[in-house]
Structure 1
């Protein structure tokens, strides 16, 4: 996940950089009592300095791709921009596995998924916001910019929609399973022809995932279609000179097609030399409703995304 912002926990406020993650529902920050390497290089929460801290006492563990994150549950005041949330459930992590968190540019994660996805009965942040009536409307919206502007990477609006960030109309689609922000994909077209997910499939809109992921059998075919080949490090690369001749890929959601051109689904990385990485990755996730696709930041940076908890639906419009 490469999009984050700053929030504060406690009284007086202690600042943390967090990922706003629609693919999970817990909020956690590193604890002052954390001993792993990952915590050494990040901001740590000192509960003993906060007047508003309430000790929860239960231990919790969160499963991530790289291993288990262990921590202690508590409650405290959470400040996000100009709103102040009292008694927010959160976790203080005391152990963060692997190098993933050590190398991360963020301290913690703020989940924006549904309550059913939250571990340890914690009430998610946006549920607290709704319960404490801190926003006008029970919606939040993401605008993610592409490119290297690290200072201003985009915007998250809690409680509304920023009409200056999109053009055309918003198209809505119902949430099919209230845990992730899960929706139905009718199909995926390559150069206008149905090529994948041909009988429909389920997808989640996930700000905490960088790429677009899908079942390995389908992604293997997709990489072939776009002429991507696996590098020695396992990424799929395409020839940067061929971008203009690569097919466009469209996701049919509801009655609308959301089209990505090669310029949009290929990630240009400029290290020693420019190389072009496919924005698609295989990840096999099975749910009751079948295999899941993940529409991560590669998708979300082209479309303004509105998450509506009041009506359990997601809205998409072309981002400006």
Structure 2
């Protein structure tokens, strides 16, 4: 069987997306300054229609454009059930479960989102035996619900008997200012908290895609790109990046984890001195790292702590150095224009952060959308490797 995913890009809510589980949904919800912008943004930037392009009849790549929400989350459309019920989901390489709100959800967070009504789907099934309850934990909140199976559609792909969670309670981080209804995880099956077959695995097993891989192209709302954000399922479109893909092995087949050689500024090692580990996470809008290392970077780039953010002088950012992540012996520089974010009030903040509780481990680096907007990324399950190349 094969599985195929159609990804739609938006921008991660300090996701993420960005909400991600790894979507840094928390920032979007907590920054009231941006609450009033969401409705206007949704009206101004409607979803693009999905595109299906074939290089030849034997190899098809499925594409769907993603919507970028304030550089905080990348969101796309899926549907579940018969007839289909539509949901906006954040595509998250930092988790492996799929959940959407249900009509049984009684928490305030569910109120402004689309609900799945099991009674309206003729193809819904429940796992055999007693009702199976589930809890999915993210760094910014939990989701409680029950397991169900139904038909899932992503673009022109249709997978049967997909297990997912119907939420009955959601933490406040998933509230009304989250630009997504649910989360679709794209990590390895071992990271699935519901012990269910993830969407991508199900699509591959049902022979819906020709290659066992997917790829992300994420654009910035500031600089844009030659085209909109995109998730590619079952193949790679080489026109979205320059040069050649550089491949690195996945060091632990749970999340998309790779070895990080070191982190440098102007040729000097400033973090990860003896090598460390990093996770590529489309569900996070920022770059997270160990507290002392991140503090050192903040000092180097002259970021000053205030409230919950590290503020910077917008007038000096053009003189700041690149922060270079060395992966597989290749330099991947992140320039100031990428790691400095201007908020709704025109204030500049650093996008380097340290989580009080890092779900991946206290020494783990999380390379979120700040990094992934610069580098086209390929997630190769067939060979357990990640490919990176400069995005167009």
TM norm structure 2? 0.78
Match status 1:17 vs 2:88:
yes
Residues 260-269 or 201-210, more deviating: 260-269
* Higher-strand-fraction structure: 1
- Report what 1:298 is aligned to: 370
C-alpha separation in 2, matches of 1:196 and 1:281: 14
Given that 1:219 and 1:282 are in contact with CA atoms closer than 8 Å, whether structure 2 keeps it comes out as yes
Q: Distance between the aligned counterparts of 2:257 and 2:366, measured in 1?
A: 9
Task: Specify which of 151, 174, 184 is matched with residue 77 of structure 1.
Answer: 151
Match in the other structure for 1:184:
259
Runs (5+) with no aligned partner, structure 2: 1-17, 19-72
Deviation per CA, 1:15-51, whole angstroms, max 9, x where unpaired? 0000000000000000111111111100000111011
Q: Deviations over 1:78-122 (max 9, x none)?
A: 000110011111000010022443321100000000000001221
Q: Structure 1 residues 83 and 286, CA, compared in 2 at 3 Å: closer, same or farther?
A: closer
Inter-CA distance 96–162: structure 2 relative to 1 (3 Å threshold): same
Distance in structure 2 (CA, Å) of the matches to 1:306 and 1:105: 25
Q: What does residue 265 of structure 1 align with?
A: 339
Q: What SS class does the counterpart of residue 110 from structure 1 fall into?
A: strand
Deviation at 1:174, TM superposition (A): 0.3
User: 5+ residue gaps in structure 1?
Assistant: none
- Give the alignment partner of residue 160 of structure 1, picking from 215, 235, 250: 235
SS at 1:3 equivalent: strand
Matching residue of 1:66: 140
- Per the normalisation by structure 1, the TM-score is 0.95
**Other-structure match for 2:77:** 6
What is the match of residue 86 of structure 1? 160
RMSD: 1.4
Q: Distance in 2 between matches of 1:175 and 1:118?
A: 17
CA contact (8 A) 2:340 2:348 kept: yes
Aligned counterpart, 1:172: 247
State how far apart, in whole Å, the 1-side matches of 2:175 and 2:159 are. Answer: 26
2:216 matches 1:216: no
Secondary structure of the 2:343 match is: strand
Deviation per CA, 1:221-279: give whole Å up to 9, x if none.
11001000012x311111111111111111000020101111121112232xx111111
Matched, 1:123 2:184: no
Structure 1 stretches of 4+ moved >4 Å:
none
Shift in Å at residue 190 of structure 1? 1.0
Higher relative contact order (CA 8 A, sep 6+): 2
Aligned counterpart, 2:182? 108
Q: Secondary structure at the match of 1:182?
A: strand
Tell me the distance in 1 between the aligned counterparts of 2:109 and 2:344. Answer: 27
